[in-house]
């Protein structure tokens, strides 16, 4: 009997003409799996035996279901470290055959099944990248299962037809589920990485970006505003929170001698882009680091204080990430050191940040606002 993890809706799943009742643990609504992930979990009976590579839109619910019901290896790959950490906390009991990892790319090994849940609002180029990478990791004869919450989808169907000679579609109220068998390797692979150049104070700088990294293929306007607002001196120690492709870290590290930049991001692809950008420009003073910014292990009490913190917090988290960034900046900033936050809406910053810093000022910078803060005396 197949047991699904908490948060997956009770259902009866058909395999051919036979229907098998699925027994569920008591649901926890706040851990409810996304529709696409539910579709994959309920298709487990259709998946061939063998190792599984998958991703998750939430807390790895499909991966947990697969590991609990299959004796094979299940590898769930996350791009974001915070999402991976939440998935590990969600795991109620150990699964020796389940690996939850945060990686820039899928592991370099063959799998029998690749399972990918996506949403209709997902990034198209990122999805194409994962489809191609998943196809590469499948052994010949292995199967790909892709689920979307868009029941009227046609785009994903067409993308899969570019990779497989035959694609099976199954629609339901939750969305659409596709399956296909790999019969041969792809004859031509597309390179989704992007190398681009930008200028800072007259200097031409090379940068790298991947799909799934903020502001892929270009320099975001917020990053431009941070570069313009930042005043850097020789020997400065700088921390960039949420470095993305690393363009701000690269620009500031190249402005003078002895400048040390710690660039952190929870996105493994962003950290890899920043590392590659530093190599392209011959910069050895940037230290890219995978972190959620809540973890102080990479900023020990014995480390020198930071002179400058720069951050472009995302808008989608209702300021939760902005607050994490602000608290981290306040902890590491030397007295009278500077923290710069770029935003378009300053109300939250003006209300919250005076409790963390000795002074807070707002200055317009094109279409953005720079919130400039001074570190408190320790």
Q: What is the pLDDT of residue 94?
A: 86
Strand duo 260-265 + 286-290: pairing: parallel
User: Distance between CA atoms of 237 and 305, rounded to whole angstroms?
Assistant: 8
Give CA–CA dist 252/294, Å, rounded.
24
Check residue 267 and report its DSSP letter. Answer: B
Give the residue among 272, 254, 255 at the shortest CA–CA distance from 263: 272
Radius of gyration of the chain (CA): 23
Q: Is 64 exposed, middle or buried (0-12, 13-18, 19+ CB in 10 A)?
A: buried
311, 339 Cβ separation under 8 angstroms = yes
Q: What is the token pair recorded at 294? A: 């809540």
Give the HSE-up count for residue 209: Cα atoms under 13 Å, Cβ half-sphere: 20
78 vs 295, higher pLDDT: 78
Q: Is 5 in contact with 58 (CB distance < 8 Å)? A: no
pTM of this prediction?
Answer: 0.89
pLDDT-based confidence at 377, cuts 50/70/90?
confident
The pLDDT value given to residue 375: 96
- In the numeric block, the tokens 């808008």 are attached to 315
DSSP single-letter state for residue 52? E
Which of 327, 322, 334 has the alpha carbon at shortest distance from 374?
334
Domains defined for the chain, CATH in brackets: 3-181 (3.40.50.150), 194-374 (3.40.50.150)
Q: Which residues contact 318 (CB under 8 A, 6 or more apart)?
A: none
Strands 138-148 and 176-181: antiparallel
**233-292 per-position pLDDT tens digit:** 999 999 999 999 999 999 999 999 999 999 999 999 999 999 999 999 999 999 999 999
Average pLDDT, the chain: 90
Helical H segments across 60-123, by residue range: 61-69, 81-90
pLDDT digits (tens, 9 = 90+) for 28-84: 434 589 999 999 999 999 999 999 999 999 999 999 999 999 999 999 999 999 999
Other C-beta atoms lying within 10 Å of the C-beta of residue 255? 18
d(CA 277, CA 181): 37
Helix, strand, coil: what percent of the chain each, to 5?
A: 30, 30, 40
CA distance 14 to 330: 55
Would you tell me how many other CB atoms lie within 10 Å of the CB of residue 349?
Answer: 21
The residues, any chain, with a CB within 8 Å of residue 251's CB and separated by 6 or more, are 200, 201, 203, 205, 227
């Amino acid at each position: 009997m197949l047991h699904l993890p908490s948060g997956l809706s009770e259902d009866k799943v058909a395999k051919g003409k036979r229907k098998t009742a699925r027994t569920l643990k008591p649901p926890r609504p706040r851990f409810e799996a996304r529709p696409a992930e539910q579709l994959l979990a309920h298709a487990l009976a259709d998946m061939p035996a063998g190792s599984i590579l998958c991703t998750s839109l939430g807390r790895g619910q499909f991966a947990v279901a697969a590991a609990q019901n299959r004796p094979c290896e299940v590898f769930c790959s996350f791009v974001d470290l915070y999402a991976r950490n939440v998935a590990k906390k969600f795991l109620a009991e150990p699964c020796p055959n389940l690996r939850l990892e945060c990686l820039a790319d899928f592991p370099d090994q063959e799998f029998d099944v690749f399972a990918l849940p996506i949403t209709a609002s997902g990034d198209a180029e990122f999805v194409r990248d994962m489809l191609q990478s998943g196809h590469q990791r499948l052994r010949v004869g292995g199967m790909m299962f892709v689920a979307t919450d868009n029941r009227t989808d046609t785009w994903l169907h067409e993308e899969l037809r570019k990779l497989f000679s035959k694609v099976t579609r199954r629609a339901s109220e939750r969305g659409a589920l596709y399956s296909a068998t790999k019969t041969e390797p792809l004859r031509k692979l597309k390179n989704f990485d992007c190398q681009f150049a930008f200028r800072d104070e007259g200097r031409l700088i090379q940068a790298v970006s991947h799909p799934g990294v903020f502001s892929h293929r270009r320099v975001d306007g917020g990053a431009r505003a941070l570069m313009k607002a930042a005043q850097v001196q020789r020997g400065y120690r700088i921390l960039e929170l949420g470095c993305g492709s690393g363009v701000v870290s690269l620009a500031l590290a190249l402005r003078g001698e002895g400048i040390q930049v710690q660039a952190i991001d929870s996105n493994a692809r962003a950290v890899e882009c920043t590392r590659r950008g530093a190599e392209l420009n011959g910069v050895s003073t940037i230290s890219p680091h995978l972190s959620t910014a809540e973890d102080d292990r990479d900023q020990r009490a014995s480390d020198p204080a930071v002179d400058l913190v720069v951050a472009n917090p995302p808008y989608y988290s209702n300021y939760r990430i902005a607050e994490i960034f602000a608290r981290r900046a306040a902890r590491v900033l030397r007295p009278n050191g500077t923290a710069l936050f770029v935003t378009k809406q300053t109300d939250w910053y003006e209300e919250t940040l005076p409790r963390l810093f000795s002074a807070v000022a707002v200055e317009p910078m094109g279409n953005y606002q720079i919130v400039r803060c001074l570190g408190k005396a320790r």
